[in-house]
Each structure stands twice: as C-alpha cells, then as structure tokens.
Structure 1
Amino acid sequence: MHEQDYYIRNAKDEKLIQYGKRLSNEIQLTAAKYDESGDFPFEHFELLEKEGYFKLTIPKEYGGDELSLYEILLVQEQLAKGSGSTALAVGWHLMTFFSLSNYRPWKEEVFQRLCQDAVQRGSLLNVFATESSAGNIVRGGKPTTIAKKTAGGFVINGRKSFATLSPIVKHFTVLAYVEEEDKVAEFLIEKDESVSVIHTWNALGMRSTGSHDVEMNQVFVPDDALLSYSEKENRFTGNSSAYTLQIPAIYLGVATAARDFIIDYAENKYSPSLGNVISEAAHVKQKIGEIDIHLSVARSYLYSLAEKWDSPLGLRNNLSNEVAIAKYTVCNNAIKIVKLAMNIAGGNALSKDLPLERYFRDVQCGLYNPPHPDMVINQIAAHAIEDYRKKQVVHQ
C-alpha cells in the first residue's frame, strides 16, 4: 500500500505523478552533492526546462499547462522527494505564475510576454520582497528599496535578501517604496550590470536554492515596469493565498522521502540482539505507525483543501484560515515524521552517508517560510475571538 494512491483521482493525476517521480529520480542522483556544496543546481534546471516543468502553472492561452492547485501539489510533492531545494526553488516560479494567473493584477500584455518567455525561452520569474534591514514586510514593514521617479521611468536602489533563483533568473520583480506617491509597488527588473547577486546563502537546509542577496544600484526601469501597487487586497493575499500551498506540499515530499527510506532501511537492517530485521522490533513498528499517521493527517488536510479551492463552489476568497492551518500542520508534521525516522536509524541517522540528516535539515526550513507559526496561530486566534463576539452580539 502506498498512501499516494488514495489521492490519484483520474488518469491525468496518475500521469502527473509518474512525471514527477521520473524527474525526482533523476535529480535525486545529485541532490546530496549540491546540498554539500551549496551550489545552485543548474543541471537540475536544464532538465526541468527540457521537460516543460516551467510552464506547468502558466495559462493554456499562453502555451502553458495551467495545472489546477491540486495537480501542481501532486507534482511538486513528488519532485521534493528527489531534492527539496530544487522543488522549493522552482516552486517560487510556479507559485508566481499560479498567483498571477488567478488574480491578473498586471497589464495583460506584460503578463503574456513573461508567460511566453517562460514557455519558449525557459525564463524563470520570482518576486524579491524580503529585506534584512527592513524586517518582515509581511508583518507590515515598509521596504527600504526605494523607487524614485525620473524622466521616462524610475530609478531603483536597494538590497533584497532570500532572493531564491537569483543565480538563474534573467528578470525578477521587487517590492519598492515609491517616495513621491507614498506607496509600495511591484516593479519588473531586468538583470544588467546595475544588478548584483551577492553570494550570502549558506544555510542549514535547502542549501541549493540560490537564495542569495540581490543589490540594485541605480537601476533604471521604464514607466511600464511598474506592474501594480500593493493595495490591501493584492496577488499575494487574494484567493486566500492558496498559491502558497506548494510550500507545505514540498515539505510533505521531503518527509515522505524520509518515510520511504526508513521503512526500506528497517526492512534490511539486521539486529543480532533481535535476531531479525529491526522492522520487527515493537518500538520501530510504533514509530513507523506514528509516521504514517502524521503523514496521512497532513496529506488528507492538504489535498482536501486544494480540492475545495479548485471546486466551483466559489470559496476561493474564504479559505485563508484553512490555507494557513495547512501550512502550519503539514510543516510541523513533516518535522515530526523525519524526527521519528531519525530515531529509528539511531546514531546512523547523523551520517552523511544516509539522506536522513539532509531531510532533517531541510524540513526545519518549513517553519521559516511564510506564514510563520506565530502569525498562523495569531490569525486563527483572532478569528475565533471575533467569531465568538459576533455570536454574543446576535444572542443579546
């Protein structure tokens, strides 16, 4: 029995699962090498481009596959089993186009051009929003990246952190503060000599995502590079931010890889004291059972939510709490799963000869991808209190 089978609904799902597995098996061959070095895995991305991966979430009208939310989660979960870093890095490109496809805040001709660049030339796209000097913009901070109006456009200066895909992107978007208008806007930046990638990414996990700093020094962009203003409702918050469900799907994939590895390990690891393979030990069976319970809970919540979001019930703008809970639950369960797998392997789990220590380091990163756990908890608590107060008013 493989739990994934329960989530294959039709022939297309089956085809996507096999597609993801095939690519996952290929990138897995060198995943440990890139984890060790921290280098960006250009060869993985050459493979993904060749296999049409960059167009999975691009609308069909512009040459893409336009996968549903449920479908892209299936593929990304599989890819992450081979390399969490590669799945997370390409995931930001896929998430960008997924959110843009469903919200469409930009001029359509700009969106069309970027879609066609991805489909025809393999151009990747990501938004660089985080700044070490400004704190967390998601928490209400104002960008220190400044866009000043000038003749025919804007001049942009600033430095972005955690700029995933920075070694490979030819263009990207940034959030910048427009001084003259006292507004935050999203701008399209083309890489040139005024853009520098500063190699700062040397992290505990997800080591080959290329999430370096990017510095913009007097970057001139034309007027039409201003894509949209960041209003209260925007492409990052619209449709319940469901595009971010790829993040827990990726960590679920890493945890599933740990689960599959440890069962194989336990079935082939002989214990002289037990006189049998360690999978027959009661404490090992206990841990394997707990692993599959955590996995089942996480996968069931994630995919049932995706199916609800994809449905024609008109719920897309009413699922923000569920999206946040999914991220919180799946990422925390992924950590529990890998920890249990490590406990089964014992001291051997710490060896770089086994993939478990890489899985362990990678799943820790899920807590630091947005939304952070405290933000999720506060969001759910605020909703619960507000709901209670509304009911009290009705009953008075």
Structure 2
Amino acid sequence: MHPSQNLKPEWVDIIRKAAPAAEQAGKLQPDQLALIYEQGWFKFLVPKAYSGLQLALPQMVRLEESLAWANGSLGWVVTLCAGAGWFGGFLHPTLAVEIMTNPQLCLAGSGASTGTATISGDGYIVNGTWKYASGAHHATHITANCIIKKGDDTVLNDDGEPLILPFIFDKKDVHVFPAWKYVGMMATGSDAYEVKDLYVDKNRSFKIDPQYTVINEPLYRYPFLQLAEATLAANLSGLAVHFLDLCGPAFDERMKNPRLTEPQKEYIQQLLADQIILLNEVRAEFYQAVDCSWNNFDSADNNGLQEVSLMSRKLAKVSRESVDKLYTYCGLSAANPDTEINQVWRDLHTAGQHSLLTFESID
C-alpha cells in the first residue's frame, strides 16, 4: 500500500505547502501544528484514559510512514513526540491526567543520560544538558534521562550499574537553545535544552518496564526497543517512497536530454522500476514482522520481536541504498537545496544517521 492512502489529500497539501517556511524557520508551522492537534497525531500512544488515541502498533507505524512520506520533518517530530506519549502508560495517574489531557500536548526529549537527579526529600534536584530534542520549540513538556545520585554517590540498580530514570518536566522549567546545525530535518527544531537546580517531586520520574505500567493494556507491555526501531524505520521508508515518487518526474525531464542514448534511458527507467519493487517487497516484509510481533509478543515462544529488529534495520538499509542508487540520475536539480527532491534526500540521510538503525545486524 502506498503511504498516501492513509492521508487525505487536503492534509498532504497543508503539510507540504508549509514545508519551505518550516525549513526556513527551523520548526513546524502553525498550519501544520493545527492539523496535528486536530487529528491528535501527537497522542498516538497516549492512553485513552487520558484522552489519547492509544493506537495499536501496526496502525501507528503505518500512519507514521505516511506522515514521513508527506514531509520528513513533520513525520519525524510526530513520531518522536508521539513516542514520548507512550510514557503515559507509566506515569503516576494524577500527574498523567494533568499533563496528557492537554489538547495541544507535545512531549519532546532525549534518550541520552546526560543529566543527574540528586535525591532531596520527597523529590530530586535535577541538573543537566541534553541535545537533539525534536519538537522542543512547541513542546508542552520535555523528558530526559538522569543518573540518580544520593549526595555525591551514584545510586546503583540491582545489576550494580548506575540507576538511570526518565523524568518529565514542564516546558517553562527548561531552557531550550540552538544546537541543530545539520543538512536535513531542518524543520524538526531538534535543538538542545538544559535544566539547572530544578526541584521536582518524585512522581516526575518513572520506570519503563512492563511490571511498572499503570495502564494495563497491550500497548504498554510491548517492548520499547522494538517500538522505537519500527517507528524510526517507518520514517526512513516514508522518505524513500517520497524520493522514488519524485524520481518519476525527474527522470521524465532527463529523457528530454538529447545526449542520452536509448540504452541509457532504458537503464534509468528500469532502475527506478526495480527499486520500487525492491522497496515495496521489503516494506511488506517489515509490516508482516510488525503485525506478527504485535499479535504474539506476550507469547513465550516465537514472539516475533527479534524479527522486528532485523526487518527494521533491513528496511532502513534498503531505503538508504535505493535512494542513493537513483540520486545520481536525477539531474542537477536534485543537488539544489531549494527543490523538494533535495529536501527529501537531505532528510533521509540525516534521519538515517540515527544510531538505532545504523547497523544491519542486531548483535
């Protein structure tokens, strides 16, 4: 299924018309955000108990691929901010109601453990700096991982390693500052943030583990690793499909070049056809793995989770390689940063640097 089938044409128009201004501004634009709030896309994984959509994983992953196809930056911001909404299944219910019911809820954050939370009475004093928080400029709340300290000593977990817990902060208590200086995903606003000597109650921390879930639903028992791998891979897939879509008109223009021989024309046309077939075959395998894991992850035998990890990496690899095989033949316009096809190319290769999907093997 082509990603466009999950989105209304008018939605795609809104997203793409605002894309150049979003690139220039370094963040999503009001029309794009209004659509996200209207459709509840930031609440894909927020529990229904807190006015969220609580989508099944297969449905959400397909929607995120479609949004990445519509625009890479918007798809990425929705994916990461909606992913943080999954934490609603683990937050203290009183706090979750306060935070998650906001109709303009947007949770940005970082998975890096570059902060400390020192135990102080019934709470913690938090300090730290984190980078790459996509969606930080329109976030209502920001999450961060912190190493737990007791005085000057690091608290250890049951395995004897430093105890690391995620925290959730109000946006007003966080300082966001410019840090995103990369060639793609320009409109994600993935800037850095810091917290200094901030006291938070203990209910601002939580544990991501099925035994600590507050919402007893399958979504919050599904492992976070495979959830993250699948959603990120779907973004690369959506970008690759968009690029291949744009290759059609680009190649039509190249066909007008009198210096191209007939065998050369046939070669690039066949190359595009082959890459479309390959990408769609791998997409189908990927979604089969996601669907199977969702139906079986609670099973002790053959729960399909490892297959999700493998297929997420394979899809990421094929997405990058298919685009690169075609890029050479797209003409000089593909190297022009003002063109849509160049934006998609830059976005894919920037998103493709995410460490979770860098290696094809999971070992």
Provide TM-score, normalisation by structure 1.
0.77
Find out whether 1:129 has 2:111 as its counterpart: yes
- How many residue pairs were aligned? 346
Question: How far does residue 275 in structure 1 lie from its aligned partner after superposition?
Answer: 9.4
One-letter amino acid matched to 2:33: F
Q: Label 1:274 to 1:89 Cα distance change in 2 as closer, same or farther (>3 A).
A: same
Find out whether 1:202 has 2:202 as its counterpart: no
Q: Label 1:22 to 1:243 Cα distance change in 2 as closer, same or farther (>3 A).
A: farther
Question: How far does residue 336 in structure 1 lie from its aligned partner after superposition?
Answer: 2.0
Specify the alignment match of 2:293 in structure 1.
309
| Separation (CA, whole Å) in 2 of partners of 1:50 and 1:291 | 35
Specify the alignment match of 2:75 in structure 1.
87
| Separation (CA, whole Å) in 1 of partners of 2:340 and 2:165 | 42
Whether the 8 Å contact between 1:279 and 1:285 is mirrored in structure 2 is no
Specify the alignment match of 1:363 in structure 2.
348
Specify the alignment match of 2:61 in structure 1.
73
Question: How far does residue 199 in structure 1 lie from its aligned partner after superposition?
Answer: 0.7
Q: Label 1:242 to 1:342 Cα distance change in 2 as closer, same or farther (>3 A).
A: same
Question: How far does residue 325 in structure 1 lie from its aligned partner after superposition?
Answer: 1.8
Find out whether 1:225 has 2:213 as its counterpart: no
Specify the alignment match of 1:332 in structure 2.
317
Matches within 5 A, 1:244-323: 244=228, 245-267=230-252, 270-271=255-256, 273=258, 281-311=265-295, 314-315=298-299, 318-323=303-308
One-letter amino acid matched to 2:352: L
| Separation (CA, whole Å) in 1 of partners of 2:44 and 2:307 | 24
Which secondary structure does the structure 2 equivalent of 1:219 belong to? strand
| Separation (CA, whole Å) in 1 of partners of 2:38 and 2:208 | 35
Specify the alignment match of 2:7 in structure 1.
18
Whether the 8 Å contact between 1:248 and 1:366 is mirrored in structure 2 is no
Find out whether 1:348 has 2:333 as its counterpart: yes
Which secondary structure does the structure 1 equivalent of 2:337 belong to? coil
Which secondary structure does the structure 1 equivalent of 2:167 belong to? strand
Q: Label 1:75 to 1:229 Cα distance change in 2 as closer, same or farther (>3 A).
A: closer
| Separation (CA, whole Å) in 2 of partners of 1:238 and 1:254 | 26
Q: Label 1:225 to 1:62 Cα distance change in 2 as closer, same or farther (>3 A).
A: closer
Q: Label 1:204 to 1:344 Cα distance change in 2 as closer, same or farther (>3 A).
A: same
Specify the alignment match of 1:390 in structure 2.
none
Whether the 8 Å contact between 2:251 and 2:269 is mirrored in structure 1 is no
Matches within 5 A, 1:114-125: 114-117=99-102, 121-125=103-107
| Separation (CA, whole Å) in 2 of partners of 1:107 and 1:220 | 17
Specify the alignment match of 1:139 in structure 2.
none
> Does 303-312 or 196-205 show the bigger shift?
303-312
Find out whether 1:184 has 2:183 as its counterpart: no
Identity among equivalent positions (%) equals 17
Supply the RMSD in Å over aligned alpha carbons: 3.2
- TM-superposition CA deviations, 1:340-375 (whole Å, max 9, x none): 33223222321235322211111112332241424x
| Separation (CA, whole Å) in 2 of partners of 1:295 and 1:315 | 30
Which secondary structure does the structure 1 equivalent of 2:345 belong to? helix
| Separation (CA, whole Å) in 1 of partners of 2:222 and 2:257 | 58
Whether the 8 Å contact between 1:79 and 1:87 is mirrored in structure 2 is yes
Bigger helix fraction: 1
Matches within 5 A, 1:108-187: 108-117=93-102, 121-130=103-112, 143-180=113-150, 181-182=155-156, 183-187=163-167
Q: Label 1:122 to 1:233 Cα distance change in 2 as closer, same or farther (>3 A).
A: closer
| Separation (CA, whole Å) in 2 of partners of 1:337 and 1:106 | 41
Q: Label 1:35 to 1:292 Cα distance change in 2 as closer, same or farther (>3 A).
A: same
Whether the 8 Å contact between 1:258 and 1:337 is mirrored in structure 2 is no
Q: Label 1:299 to 1:233 Cα distance change in 2 as closer, same or farther (>3 A).
A: farther
Whether the 8 Å contact between 1:258 and 1:359 is mirrored in structure 2 is yes
Whether the 8 Å contact between 1:38 and 1:202 is mirrored in structure 2 is no
Question: How far does residue 279 in structure 1 lie from its aligned partner after superposition?
Answer: 11
Whether the 8 Å contact between 1:241 and 1:320 is mirrored in structure 2 is no
Specify the alignment match of 2:216 in structure 1.
none
Q: Label 1:111 to 1:242 Cα distance change in 2 as closer, same or farther (>3 A).
A: farther
| Separation (CA, whole Å) in 2 of partners of 1:367 and 1:105 | 29
Question: How far does residue 237 in structure 1 lie from its aligned partner after superposition?
Answer: 10
Question: How far does residue 112 in structure 1 lie from its aligned partner after superposition?
Answer: 3.9
Whether the 8 Å contact between 1:162 and 1:213 is mirrored in structure 2 is yes
Unmatched tracts of structure 1, length 5 or more: 9-13, 131-142, 381-396
Q: Label 1:329 to 1:30 Cα distance change in 2 as closer, same or farther (>3 A).
A: same
One-letter amino acid matched to 1:61: A
Q: Label 1:341 to 1:96 Cα distance change in 2 as closer, same or farther (>3 A).
A: same
Question: How far does residue 274 in structure 1 lie from its aligned partner after superposition?
Answer: 7.4
Whether the 8 Å contact between 1:266 and 1:279 is mirrored in structure 2 is no
Q: Label 1:129 to 1:231 Cα distance change in 2 as closer, same or farther (>3 A).
A: farther
Provide TM-score, normalisation by structure 2.
0.83
Question: How far does residue 95 in structure 1 lie from its aligned partner after superposition?
Answer: 1.7
| Separation (CA, whole Å) in 1 of partners of 2:16 and 2:309 | 30
